[in-house]
Amino acid sequence: MTETESHLDHYLNSSLDNYIQETAQLCAQPSISAKKQGMNACADLVVQILERHGFHSQKFETPGNPIIIGRAQGGSERTLLFYNHYDVQPPEPLELWTTPPFEPSIRDGALYARGAKDDKGEFIARLAAVDAARTAHGGSLPCNITFILEGEEEIGSPHIAQFVREHIDLLKSNAAIWEEGGIDYEGYPGTSLGCRGILYVELEVETLKRDAHSGGAHIIPNAAWRLLEALSSLKGPQNEIRIPGFYDQALPPSSKDLELIEALPDFETWARDTYGVKEFVGGLSGKDLNRAIFNSTCNIAGLSAGYQGEGLKTVIPARASAKVDFRLVPEQDPEDIFNKLRAHLDREGFADIDLKKVGEMWPYKASADDPFIFLSAHTAESVYQRSYRLTPLTGGSSPIYAFADPLGGIPVISAGVGYADNRTHSPDEHVRLDDFLNAARHISRIIYGFSDLS
Amino acid sequence: MTETESHLDHYLNSSLDNYIQETAQLCAQPSISAKKQGMNACADLVVQILERHGFHSQKFETPGNPIIIGRAQGGSERTLLFYNHYDVQPPEPLELWTTPPFEPSIRDGALYARGAKDDKGEFIARLAAVDAARTAHGGSLPCNITFILEGEEEIGSPHIAQFVREHIDLLKSNAAIWEEGGIDYEGYPGTSLGCRGILYVELEVETLKRDAHSGGAHIIPNAAWRLLEALSSLKGPQNEIRIPGFYDQALPPSSKDLELIEALPDFETWARDTYGVKEFVGGLSGKDLNRAIFNSTCNIAGLSAGYQGEGLKTVIPARASAKVDFRLVPEQDPEDIFNKLRAHLDREGFADIDLKKVGEMWPYKASADDPFIFLSAHTAESVYQRSYRLTPLTGGSSPIYAFADPLGGIPVISAGVGYADNRTHSPDEHVRLDDFLNAARHISRIIYGFSDLS
């Protein structure tokens, strides 16, 4: 270990508790974008926190929730950009949380709260890394650092793309670290070279003015059955998506993609144990589970119709609705898919199904050969003492597309506090303190090495 | 009009307000059997009300909610039995009620409350008829009257059949008037000769230990999709139910049934307007809508999976459930259908779908030629000044089967306060005061004529 590295680590080891407390403080402030709950208060808290760590911060109003930019000058012309978000997913179902989602609780070496990992824990770990780099560098930063935090990531980032285009001057940078990262289910660090896009829609149908008694079900049309027929038309027996033209723009994996996948372990056992899966989609197993990342998906995220309480109620539901998200591989365009979905429903006789777009994001894919990726790999290997794993694509979605292109094709990587069982988006979300520390160590090394990259 | 009839009518016209107030008092006491809310308090109130009207009453505990029997002696050996129930359907969705469901409100000539029609209004209208008959008959009843009220009709009457078998001595009677009745959508009185049975089940499936992030949807199995596949296996493209053997015991309509249906008007326009139906099940219209009563049904009464709140949440639901009711025509047996449904799911590869029986009732069918039916028709025509309509079968279900056979094959008819738009089981349930009065006039005439039937 170099002297610099031991400075960085010493600082982070001795001040970890403070950063965990700061994460808890931020998590205690609800900020549920889907319910418009606590957004402005949380944005103000983020500004306070950035100022506390030496960032000149500005809060920008948008048609949705505020976007915050924090900037700190360093000793080189190069700028590293961090993207994070201060909004969180809804905490429901509440009854499955061991401790309440907005009352952060430390137990068994981890901090439990909604947002502890996604994305408040990630944000504070980065501030820890910045502080460490500043301390080890004699009180000034080795490069410029810019933070951008939005409050609508969990609802599809509807305003970030336009905001970036309108604030290029403030966001100019040479590389970016995305909202999250960490180690995989086997404890290996790594990054993904891209992510899938998403189209999130709501399908709703109304067959009656109001619910009817089910004694009339031989003639009165049932909205739940109608919705089921429409949903069933979306997928074929092999889980293929039946919307005509759906796959037209989908790029198949490249030979480099397949090579990277070959180098990765399969995660079948891990996924079986973690989720209690008996049979995977399509009966897949082994390495085929990795390769399936290049399959676009049609996922039912929610279904609702009629009586859902205890016992029985004999009604014909007048209304039924479904929330559906499509994960899209590179070159698929969510706006194009939305139009094709509407056309498909009309063509199949489902013009009565109301279709509403709730969110959309485009896919993103980077080059495996960028020096910034080598910097991340090298520093990660020194922290985690394990080889760095490159994944061609991840299953989730993020607004990377809204940054990478407008900022001149900069490389964007992941680095952070995650591990395989953080329960992101689920009850008992948490971040492990060791992971938090290692993320800060890794990122502080990236900051340190960044000004020397050609 | 005979002198007796004008005595009956005079009494009822002058005391209608009192009976409406008594109905409101009973409706103000919630008694939601599906939620076990207010059941015992309501049972006690029913006992008080029966005693107030001269009935010797007993409350019997059961494994579920209490059953109440009230008996009053009359001047003949013949006994007329009334079946009613004091439980009501859940009031949800609450936001669609103009006034709160358990705060009875009189407006526009009607009483609005959960239970105002089904079945508390029916019960009090009968007590009014009994009081009128007693008054017109010089202070004593012309025949014996027995009331039986249960508190589990809305959850499938799971305990009434056994109770009847164990209390035959108390319930012995020569004919019965069922829980409800009234005029049809064109204002004509009538009765049905039977009703369909019901099997109410809940299907539930769990594909994961907990909800997962939808970024994994290419491999992680989705409970909502799984449930949809299972539900889709239940019906074919012509709405035929695909459970093998489902129709084995189903009796086709008799020639008398078809003759009665021919004599009935078709209700297409009424049903279109009332429910805002654009297309009926199977594209039916005109008289085919009446004939469809002999089609058994498979109705989705409720669907639930994943995120159903505002905005978006990107999850793969771990659990999904559906409430489904099958309406069964004469000779179909709900226990047999349940077994066939389970076998069908297993055979189609859905052994992972958990199937729970929530309720069951058998179909019932009476003879069109009973003198009691002629008495009801004759008296109804004098009250309503319109011809009496006989319907071979109604779409709903009731525990008539649990009485008619054990009591020696007695005839069971309907007579009551209903009209076509009472919003039974729905928001803004109500009873019109004129219908209430006419039901009491009709039933008081039946009581008066009952002792003279051979």
Report if residue A262 sits inside a domain: no
Contact B217 A281 (CB under 8 A): yes
Residue B431 in this model has a pLDDT that exceeds 80:
yes
Q: Do A325 and B299 touch (CB under 8 A)?
A: no
Which residues of chain B have a CB within 8 Å of the CB of A92? 307, 309
Q: Minimal CA–CA distance to B256: which of B194, B304, B312, B208? A: B194
The percent of chain A in helix, strand and coil, each rounded to the nearest 5, is: 35, 25, 40
Q: Tell me the backbone φ, ψ of residue A292, rounded to 5 degrees.
A: -65, -10
Nearest C-alpha neighbor of B221 from the set A331, A283, A11: A283
Q: Is B352 in contact with A213 (Cβ distance < 8 A)?
A: no
Question: Which pLDDT score, from 0 to 100, does residue A399 have?
Answer: 87
Same domain, B332 and B427: no
- Pick from B96, B218, B300: CB nearest A281: B218
Cα B55 from Cα B144, distance rounded (Å): 11
A431 SS3 class: strand
Domain C-terminal end among B346, B361, B376:
B361
Q: What is the pLDDT along chain A (454 residues), one digit of tens a residue?
A: 789 999 999 999 999 999 999 999 999 999 999 999 999 999 999 999 999 999 999 999 999 999 999 999 998 999 999 999 999 999 999 999 999 999 999 999 999 999 999 999 999 999 999 999 999 999 999 999 999 999 999 988 889 999 999 999 999 999 999 999 999 988 999 999 999 999 999 999 999 999 999 999 999 999 999 999 999 999 998 999 999 999 999 999 999 899 999 998 888 998 899 899 999 999 999 999 999 999 999 999 999 999 999 888 999 999 999 999 999 999 999 999 999 999 999 999 999 999 999 999 999 988 888 899 999 999 999 999 999 999 999 999 988 999 988 999 899 999 999 998 999 999 999 999 999 999 999 999 999 999 888 6
| Joined tokens for residue A345 | 């429903």
Decide: B407 and B172 in contact? Cβ < 8 Å.
yes
ipTM of the complex in this document? 0.81
- A212:B278 CB<8 A: no
Backbone phi, then psi, for B193, in 5-degree steps?
-90, -5
- The alpha carbon of residue A336 is apart from the nearest alpha carbon of chain B, in Å, by 20
CA distances from A186 to A267, A380, A387, A440 (A): 9, 15, 11, 20
Closest CB to A304: pick one of B92, B308, B394.
B308
Using the beta-carbon criterion (under 8 Å), do B303 and A317 form an inter-chain contact?
A: yes
- Do A332 and A245 sit in the same domain of this protein? yes
Q: Is residue B346 part of a domain?
A: yes
Measured between CA atoms, the residue of chain A closest to residue B88 is: A313
- Report the alpha-carbon distance of residue B371 to residue B362 in Å, rounded: 25
How many angstroms away from the CA of A389 is the closest CA of chain B?
19
pLDDT at B454: 60
Q: A321 and A446 in one domain?
A: no
Closest partner residue to A309 (CB to CB) among B92, B280, B295 is B92
Is B57 a residue whose pLDDT tops 70?
yes
Return the residue of B nearest to A35 by Cα: B310
**A299/B222 Cβ within 8 A:** yes
Question: Is there a contact between B313 and A277 if contact means CB atoms under 8 Å apart?
Answer: no
Asked whether the beta carbons of residue B218 and residue A292 sit closer than 8 angstroms, the reply is: yes
> Which of B311, B396, B397 comes nearest A358 by C-beta?
B311
A304 and B301 within 8 Å at the Cβ level: the answer is no
Contact B295 A156 (CB under 8 A): no
Claim to verify: residue A7 and residue A146 sit in the same structural domain:
yes
Whole-angstrom Cα distance, residue B357 to residue A330? 47
pLDDT of the residue at B369: 85
Any domain includes A212: yes
A301 occurs within a structural domain:
yes
User: By CA distance, what is A322's nearest residue in B?
Assistant: B308
Do both A124 and A207 map to the same domain?
A: no
Residue from the list B215, B317, B325 with its beta carbon closest to the beta carbon of A395: B215
Per-residue pLDDT of B152-169, as tens digits, reads 999 888 899 999 999 999
Specify the pairing of strand A144-150 against strand A315-316: unpaired
Does the pLDDT of residue B218 top 80, yes or no?
yes
Listed as own residue / partner, the contacts of B206-209 with beta carbons closer than 8 Å and 24 or more positions apart are: B206/B318, B206/B319, B206/B354, B207/A277, B207/A278, B207/B318, B207/B319, B207/B352, B208/A275, B208/A276, B208/A277, B208/B316, B208/B318, B209/A274, B209/A275, B209/A276, B209/B318
Q: What is the pTM of this model?
A: 0.81
Boundary-marking domain end, from A361, A382, A399:
A361
Does A309 contact B35 at a Cβ distance shorter than 8 Å?
yes
pLDDT at A367: 83
Query: From the candidates B88, B312, B361, B429, which should be mutated to test the interface with A, based on the most A CB atoms within 10 A?
Result: B312
Q: Is residue A257 part of a domain?
A: no
Q: Nearest by CB to B277, from A208, A280, A358: name it.
A: A208
Give A217's contacts in chain B (Cβ within 8 Å).
281, 297-299, 325, 327, 395
Q: Which two tokens stand for residue A20?
A: 């965990």
Nearest residue, CB atoms, B156 vs list A89, A312, A323: A312
Secondary element (H or E) of residue B199? strand B197-206
Check whether residue B354 and residue B371 sit in a common domain. no
Rounded to a whole number of angstroms, the distance from the CA of A316 to the nearest CA of chain B is 6
**A386 in the same domain as A320:** no
- Contact: A213, B292; criterion CB under 8 Å: no
Q: Is residue A228 part of a domain?
A: yes
**Chain B: residue whose CA lies nearest to A398:** B215
Q: Give the domain range for residue A135.
A: 3-195+364-450
Give the contacts of B3 (CB within 8 A, at least 6 positions apart).
none
Task: Please give the pLDDT value at position A185.
Answer: 85
Q: What is the CATH number of the domain that holds B374?
A: 3.40.630.10
Q: What pLDDT, in 10s, does the model give residues B343-366?
A: 999 999 999 999 999 999 999 988
* Chain A residues touching B276 at Cβ < 8 A: 208-209
CA distance B343 to chain A (A): 22
- Nearest CB among A218, A317, A358 relative to B312 is that of A358
For the stretch B292-323, pLDDT in tens is 999 999 999 999 999 999 888 999 999 999 99
8 Å CB contact of A323 and B317: no
Query: Are the beta carbons of B214 and A305 separated by less than 8 Å?
Result: no
* A303 vs B154, B211, B320: nearest CB: B320
Does the beta-carbon distance from A426 to B92 stay under 8 Å? no
Q: Are residues A9 and A38 in the same domain?
A: yes
* Mean pLDDT value across residues B175-192: 94
Asked if A209 lies within 8 A of B310 by C-beta distance, the reply is no
pLDDT tens across B360-419, in order? 999 998 888 889 999 999 999 999 999 999 999 999 998 899 998 899 989 999 999 999
Task: Please indicate whether, in this complex, the C-beta atoms of A90 and B198 are within 8 angstroms of each other.
Answer: no
- Chain B residue closest to A285 (CA)? B219
- Return the structure tokens found at A411: 């490389």
For an interface test with B, the pick among A152, A204, A213, A219 (most B C-beta atoms closer than 10 Å) comes out as A219
State pLDDT tens for residues B268-284. Answer: 998 899 899 999 999 99
Same domain as B153, residue B15: yes
Instruction: Classify residue B291: in a domain, yes or no.
Output: no
Chain B residue numbers touching A232 (CB-CB < 8 A): 228, 232
Peptide bond into A119 cis (omega under 30): yes
| Chain A positions in Cβ-Cβ contact with residue B198 (cut-off 8 Å) | 314
For the domain that residue A218 is a member of, what is the CATH number? 3.30.70.360
| pLDDT of amino acid A22 | 98
Quick one: which H or E segment has residue B132?
helix B120-136
CB pairs under 8 A between A and B: 300
The 3-state secondary structure of B295-328, one letter per residue:
CCEEEEEEEEEECCCCCCCCEECCEEEEEEEEEE
Chain B hits for A327, Cβ within 8 Å: 214-215, 217-218
**End-to-end CA separation in angstroms for chain A:** 23
- Candidate from B307, B321, B327 with C-beta closest to A323: B307
pLDDT score of A417: 98
Mean pLDDT of B190-206: 96
Q: Does the pLDDT value for residue B19 go beyond 70?
A: yes
Are A343 and A415 part of one and the same domain? Answer: no
Q: Classify the phi-psi angles of B13: left when phi > 0, otherwise alpha if psi is within -120 to 50, otherwise beta.
A: alpha
Distance between CA atoms of residues B117 and B95, nearest Å: 20
How is A221-247 classified by DSSP, letter by letter? PPHHHHHHHHHHTTB-TTS-B-STTTT
Total domain count, chain A: 2
End residue of a domain, out of A361, A377, A408: A361
Name the one residue in this structure whose structure tokens are 């017109």. Answer: B136
- Chain A residues close to B92, C-beta within 8 Å: 307, 309
At residue B451, the pLDDT reads 87
Q: Please state, in angstroms and rounded to a whole number, the distance separating the CA atoms of residues B411 and B321.
A: 40
Answer yes or no: do A371 and A349 share one domain. no
Asked if the structure places residue A42 within a domain, the reply is: yes
Closest CA–CA distance from residue A257 to any residue of chain B (Å): 17
Task: Name chain A contacts of B284, Cβ cutoff 8 Å.
Answer: 219
Instruction: Write the pLDDT tens digit of every residue in B238-274.
Output: 999 999 999 999 999 999 899 999 998 888 998 899 8
Q: List chain B residues with CB under 8 Å of A208.
A: 275-277
Same domain, residue pair A22 and A106: yes
User: Mutate which of A37, A207, A323, A421 to test chain B, going by most B C-beta atoms within 10 A?
Assistant: A323
Contacts of A289 in chain B (CB under 8 A): 219
Q: What is the mean pLDDT of chain B?
A: 95
Please state the length of chain A: 454
